[in-house]
Amino acid sequence: MVHVFAFVSYVFVSCITPGPNNIMSMNNGAKYGVKKSMPFCAGVATGFSLILICCILSNLFLNRYIPKIVDIMTVLGAGYILYLAWIIWRDKPKEEKKKARQLDTRAFSTAVILQFVNPKGLLFGITLITNFVFPYYQSVEAFLLVLGFNWIVVLLCCGCWVLFGSVFRSFFEKNRRILNVIMALLLVYCAVSLFI
């Protein structure tokens, strides 16, 4: 049976931590306001869902034709989660110049397309489906539940970044070290739970 706390922790930590989507959401919120930024957030959530559908289909194919791949993907997924924990734990503030160069858009379609070139999103989808869902559940209902849950969490997390804009960024900068340690430890728990 899947470790629900590990699953939820992985989804939440992956979706709420700074990345291209959240930084763009925060910038959109600061520049255009909540209402005009929400189409971008919905596009991010939809793009993530499309990635998860691709991961589900890939896993079904691999499990059917190459069943030993699940063991390999579990080890690789755990390694990736530990790598994320390491990156979050060691995270330092980025220079303002790097933030200024990021794409600023509010379009739903652009947000969907961006998910297919977002390494964090692609690895998130592969890790989530391969390690937290597929080994335990392979029904259409389970996949739909995961897709719906993920869509809501992604939308809410992007919405938080939009809503708080620069205020949230200031809070995160002030408490960066404590928040990074907490998120890194949650990811380590997620990785360990794959083998329990």
CA 22 – CA 26 distance, rounded (Å): 6
Range of the domain at 91: 4-193
Report how many domains make up the chain: 1
Q: Per-residue pLDDT tens for 143-189?
A: 999 999 999 999 999 999 888 765 656 676 677 788 778 767 877 87
Whole-model pTM: value is 0.68
Q: Per-residue pLDDT tens for 98-108?
A: 544 444 457 78
